[in-house]
Structure 1
Amino acid sequence: MKRRALAAMLTGSVALPWAASAADLEVTHWWTSGGEAAAVAEFAKAFDATGNHWVDGAIAGSGETARSIMVSRITGGDPMGATQFNHGRQAEELVAAGLMRDLDAVAEAQDWKSVINPPSLLESCMLDGHLYCIPVNIHSWQWLWLSNQAFADAGVPVPANWEEFVAAAPALQKAGKIPLAVGQQGWQMTGIFNDLLLGLGGKDLYLKVYDEKDAEVAGGADVAKVFKALDDARTLSKGSNVQSWNEATAMVISGKAGGQVMGDWAQGEFQVAGKVAGTDYTCLPGLGEARYITTGGDSFYFPALDDPEKSKAQEVLAEVILSPETQVAFNLKKGSLPVRGDVDLAAANDCMKKGLAILKEGNVLKSTDELISPDTTTQLNDLMSEFFAESMTAEDAQKRFAGLIESAD
C-alpha cells in the first residue's frame, strides 16, 4: 500500500478499501504499563481506521506469564487473531507444528525486505524459508536510566558510565536514595547481567558466550569480572522492594532511586510522567561503557485461522502495523526504534537519537532471545533470581552459568 493512500485512509478522508470484509480481531499482548498502553493504542487506532476492529487482549503480568497463556490458547485450539512475542525463538515450536500462518505474500507485496533495517529482524521471523512474523520495533536492553534529581540531592554529578555510577552509590545512600532500582523478577536481573556482559566485556565476549556458547569462556576470568560487577549491582539494589519493571522505573522518575538498568521501553514511562530526556533524566546506552545495542524487540505472529474474513483482517493488520505513519506514532510513545529505515524521526528525543546513532553506525548485535532457546533463558532467569535473593557467591553463580552455557541450545 502506498504511503499517501494509507495516510488518507488513517485520517478517514477516503473510502475504506477493506470495509466490506471487516472483522473483529483479538490481539493478545503484555503491554499494560502507562507508556506501553499509550503506544499500543496507536496500533489499535490505525487498525480500527480500516473498518476492522482491534479487540484488545492485554494480559497483565510479566511477558513470561503472558507467553504461557498465549501458547496454551493456541495449542488448545482457541487461537487469537494475532499475538505478540519477542524477536527470536519464542514461537519456534508453534511454527514448526503448523499452528502459525506465513506472511510471505504480504511481505512481498509490501516489499518489507527492502525497508526493514537491520535485515536480521526479518531473518529472526524466518523458518524453512517462510516468514511467520512481523517485527514492529527495535528494543535494546543496554541502557542505564538515571534520575538527575537524585544525584542533585546527593550532591554528586550525574554519572557518565557504570563505573562512575557505582562510585556515586555511597553519596546516594547517604541522601536516603536506593542506588539501583530492580524489580524482583528473574528476567530483570538477567537483563542487568547481559548488559554488564556486553558493556564491560565487549562484543567479542558477548558473542563467545551466547553465539558460540563457549563454556570455557563463560567460566573464565573475563566473565568473572562481569559477575563481580553483578555482585555490586546486587548490593546497590538492596531495599528495592518492588516487583514489576515499571515500578522500578517509577522510583527513578520520582527521585527515590538513582538509576535503573532496563531496556529502552522504560523511556515510555518517563514520557507519560512528563519528564524530559537530558533535563529530568539521563540515559546511557551501553551503560556508558560500550556503544552497542542488541536488536531485541517485539513481533506479531498470526495463528492459522479457518475464518476467511479474519484471515484477511490479519493481513490488513500486518500492513497497517508496518506502515511508515504507524511505525512513527507507535515507537515515539514506546521509546523503541522503528524497524523501517525510511521513516522520519525528527521528533525523536535525546535518548532515541542516541539509539538511532548507534543503529546507523551498525553497532548492533542479536539479542539473547535470538541466540538461545526459551528453555535456556528460563534457566538463566532462575539462576539470576536466586543470585539476587540469596547469599550465593559470584564464583558459585559463575560456575552454574558456565554449566548452563555448556548445555545451552
Structure 2
Amino acid sequence: MQTLGAITLACAALVAGQNARAGEIEVLHWWTSGGEAKAAAALKLTLQKSGHRWKDFAVAGGGGDSAMTVLKSRVVSGNAPSAAQIKGPSLQEWAQEGVLANMDDVAQAEKWDELLPKVVSDIMKYKGHYVAAPVNVHRVNWLWVNPAALKKANAKAPTTWDEFFTTAEALKKAGIIPLAHGGQNWQDFTTFESVALGVGGAEFYKKALVQLDPATISGPTMTKVLETFKKVKGYTDKNAPGRDWNLATAMVIKGEAAMQLMGDWAKGEFIAAGKTPGTDFLCVPAPGTAKAYTFNVDSFAMFKLKDPANIAAQKELAKEIMAPAFQETFNLYKGSIPVRLGMKMDKFDDCAKTSAKDFVDTAKSGSLVPSIAHGMAVPSAVEGAIKDSVSQFWNDDKMSVADAQGKLAAAAKTR
C-alpha cells in the first residue's frame, strides 16, 4: 500500500510533467468588437482546453494597420509573438524575412492540402511550405438589398449591371437612395472590383487585377469597367465621403437606401438589428458575378519560436484553427463561412449556405478569385497605389476614363 507521501510525490510529478508540456502562445489580432471578439474568445478557449496558456495581444483597429505597426516593432526587436493575424501576399513578404515557422508537419497530419481549395492553400505557403493557418472565408462580391425599398419603387434585385441601372433609376424616382456607399478607398475599391468581375468576368479579373497584365489593364474591357464604375457613383448620395461602411449598411437596414455592395461582414449588422435573411434583407451576388467569388481569407501566420513547449502550443493552435468544431463556432460568430471544405452548414443562415456552395463551385470552375480591396491579391505597395488611383477617379468628376486608365496602368507597375 502506497504511503500518503508517495502519492503526494507522484501527483506532484504528474502536475510538473503537465506544466512542463504546457506552453504559452501570444496571439496578435485586431478582433476587438462584437462578433469578432466572441470569435477570438472561442479560439482562446479552444487552446486552453488543450492545456496551453493564451496571452492575448489585441490591437484595436478594424483594418489592422495599427496591429501591423506594432508587429513590425516587435519582430525587429527580436520579440515576435507566437502567431499574428496576417493575410494574403503579406504572408509571403514576412516569410521572405525568414521569421515565419514551417507548419508542414501539422498540415500533412491534418491533410490541409485536401481540405482547402488550391488557390487558398497556395496563399498560406511560402516556397511550397505552410507558414500560416487559414481561419475563415468572407465573400466580398455581395449586393445587400432592402426588399421593402424595391417594392416601393416597383423594382427588382438586379442580376446584371444593365438591370442595376434600371433598378437604380426607379429607386431614384421613388425618392430612395439607390446605393449606400462610404467614401473610403477600400470601399471604393470593393465596388470597383465587383464591377470589374461583373463586366469582365473571372479571367479578365485575374489578368488585370491579380497578374497586373499591362495589355489587359489598358484594353477595351477595362475602359468599359471604368465607365460602368463611374456611372454607379451617380446613384450614391452626396454625404458618402468619409462614411464608415457600417453606417452605409444602416441606411439599407432603415430603408433610406435600397442596396449596398459590401462583403458578408455587413450581414452581422442586419442580424444585430434583428433582421432575417430572405425576408427583411436579401443577399445576392453583385451584378454579373453569380458564377464567380471574390474571397477574403483571415489567417494566422506562425512566427519562429525557440522554447519547445511554446512551439508545441503553436502547433496545437494551428491544428485547432482548422478543426471542424472551431471552424463552425468561429464562423457562426464572425458571419463568415468555414475555409475547410466539406463542413456541415445546417447551423448557418441562408446567406452563408449560398456562400459555401458558391465557394466550392467556383473553386472547381476556376472563378474563385482573391479580393484586392481586402489584401488578398497583390503586394501591399501595389495594392495601395491601385486603390488610390481608383479613388481619385471616383472622386474627381473631371477626370476622363482615359486618364483613369493611364493612372491605373501606372499604379500596377508600383514595386
What TM-score do you get using the length of structure 1 for normalisation?
A: 0.86
Q: Is the 8 A contact 2:182 2:244 kept in 1?
A: yes
1:211 deviates by: 4.2
After superposition, the CA RMSD in angstroms is 2.6
1:18-67 C-alpha deviation (Å, 9 max, x unpaired): 76544553322233453433433332332233333351514214234443
1:288 deviates by: 4.7
* Pair 1:366 & 2:372 matched: no
1:371 deviates by: 4.1
Cα gap change, 1:270/1:66 in structure 2, threshold over 3 Å: closer, same or farther? farther
Residue 218 of structure 2 is matched in structure 1 by 219
1:306-341 C-alpha deviation (Å, 9 max, x unpaired): 343333221221121111011011123323221212
Q: Is the 8 A contact 1:28 1:59 kept in 2?
A: no
CA distance in 2, matches of 1:19, 1:179: 60
Gapped runs of 5+ residues in structure 1?
A: 1-14
Residue 110 of structure 2 is matched in structure 1 by 110
Residue 75 of structure 2 is matched in structure 1 by 74
CA distance in 2, matches of 1:42, 1:162: 40
Gapped runs of 5+ residues in structure 2?
A: 1-14
Q: Is the 8 A contact 2:85 2:300 kept in 1?
A: yes
Q: Is the 8 A contact 2:91 2:124 kept in 1?
A: no
1:66-123 C-alpha deviation (Å, 9 max, x unpaired): 434433432343422211122x311322211111112122212222222x22122222
Secondary structure in structure 1 of the residue aligned to 2:411: helix
Residue 298 of structure 1 is matched in structure 2 by 298
Cα gap change, 1:348/1:224 in structure 2, threshold over 3 Å: closer, same or farther? same
* Aligned length in residues: 391
1:182 deviates by: 2.2
Residue 192 of structure 2 is matched in structure 1 by 193
What TM-score do you get using the length of structure 2 for normalisation?
A: 0.85
CA distance in 1, matches of 2:18, 2:281: 44
Residue 277 of structure 2 is matched in structure 1 by 277
Residue 325 of structure 2 is matched in structure 1 by 325
Q: Is the 8 A contact 1:144 1:286 kept in 2?
A: yes
Secondary structure in structure 2 of the residue aligned to 1:346: coil
Residue 390 of structure 1 is matched in structure 2 by 396
Secondary structure in structure 2 of the residue aligned to 1:301: strand
CA distance in 1, matches of 2:193, 2:355: 18
Q: Is the 8 A contact 2:202 2:369 kept in 1?
A: no
CA distance in 2, matches of 1:151, 1:18: 61
Letter in 2 for 1:319: K
1:147-183 C-alpha deviation (Å, 9 max, x unpaired): 2233234443343444333322244345554322222
Cα gap change, 1:70/1:181 in structure 2, threshold over 3 Å: closer, same or farther? farther
Structure of larger gyration radius: 2
Residue 54 of structure 2 is matched in structure 1 by 53
Q: Is the 8 A contact 1:79 1:303 kept in 2?
A: yes
Residue 401 of structure 1 is matched in structure 2 by 408
Cα gap change, 1:64/1:163 in structure 2, threshold over 3 Å: closer, same or farther? farther
Identity %: 35
1:278-312 C-alpha deviation (Å, 9 max, x unpaired): 11111122435441013431111022233433332
- 2:386 equivalent among 370, 380, 387: 380
1:195 deviates by: 1.2
